[in-house]
Amino acid sequence: LALGAELARWRAAGRKARLWWRDDDARGVTPALERLLHVQAQAGAPLTLAVIPDDGLPTLARRLGACEGVTLSQHGADHVDRRGGGQAGEFADTATEDEIVCALVAGRRRLAAAAGLLPVFVPPWNHAHAALEAALARAGYQAWSAHARTPGGALLPRVDVELDLLRWRGGARFRGERRFLADLAEALAVRRTGGDWERPIGLLTHHLEHDARTWRFLARFLDWSAARPELEWAELAELLPGARRAR
Ligand SMILES: [Zn+2]
């Protein structure tokens, strides 16, 4: 298998790949969120919830206060699609940088009460408006996180995701074990061949969309990866610019 061979190359090089985990679309405490927190606690892998600034926040903030290894990032201003067709996105193409700054800051204010909030913005649908990055820099965000394929990244650091547990065309469903592990092998190979060993590999999950197979595979993958000497899980805070490595 490609993944086994790739891991052997990392082992031979004496390197560890860094993984990090982002889960999108939390906006309140639901059975699916409880299940996600249970899976996270069992595996002990650090998790960043990309939270929609919304009405359920006080309850969510209270629930997460007791969770070890769970941090928060701001997922959008309100997670409403204003692009009207094609790639979804919060900001219409005609939105100005000033308007975007106002929307970002208003969203951040709604999230401010939650403990563990990092100064990282996660754009809904991984869509980057042409003025988003400049607006984020002006509004004081330290970094943003989209999909590795999302354009942009010249003004502000990015910590992206690229291993999506789901596939989306024709309705959200499990990507499948073989495809997912092939994506991991590919991400590892790209870093190794580019000498880019330190660049983290982001796992993306969407707890509200997981079926039983997806949940089972997620738990197995977290356990498997924790036991691999070539892989280590990192917290998003460790991956931000200026953060010192734990070891
Ligand atoms: Zn979203």
In order along its 247 residues, the chain shows pLDDT tens digits of 799 999 999 999 999 999 999 999 999 999 999 999 999 999 999 999 999 998 778 888 888 887 899 999 999 999 999 998 888 999 999 999 999 999 999 999 988 878 889 999 999 999 999 999 999 999 999 999 999 989 887 889 999 999 999 999 889 999 999 999 999 999 999 999 999 999 999 999 999 999 999 999 999 999 999 999 999 999 999 999 876 554 3
Q: Are strands 173-174 and 166-167 parallel, antiparallel or unpaired?
A: antiparallel
Phi, psi (5° rounding) for residue 65? -55, -30
pLDDT at 206: 98
pLDDT at 246: 45
pLDDT at 247: 39
pLDDT at 65: 82
Q: What's the rounded Cα separation, in Å, for the pair 131 and 94? A: 10
- Joined tokens for residue 44: 């002990």
Sign of CA dihedral 151, 158, 207, 44: positive
CA 65 to ligand 1 center in whole angstroms:
22
Q: What's the rounded Cα separation, in Å, for the pair 163 and 180? A: 7
CA 54 to ligand 1 center in whole angstroms:
13
Residue 122 near residue 161, CB atoms below 8 Å: no
Q: Are strands 173-174 and 143-144 parallel, antiparallel or unpaired?
A: unpaired
What b/e string do you get for 31-44 counting C-beta neighbours within 10 Å, with b at 16 or more?
ebbeebbebbeebe
CA 2 to ligand 1 center in whole angstroms:
31
Neighbours of 106 (CB within 10 A): 12
CA 25 to ligand 1 center in whole angstroms:
5
Strand partners, 126: none
pLDDT at 244: 58
Model pTM?
A: 0.95
CA 122 to ligand 1 center in whole angstroms:
8
Q: What's the rounded Cα separation, in Å, for the pair 195 and 10? A: 11
CA 234 to ligand 1 center in whole angstroms:
22
Neighbours of 85 (CB within 10 A): 6
**CB within 8 A of 238, min separation 6: which ones?**
245, 246
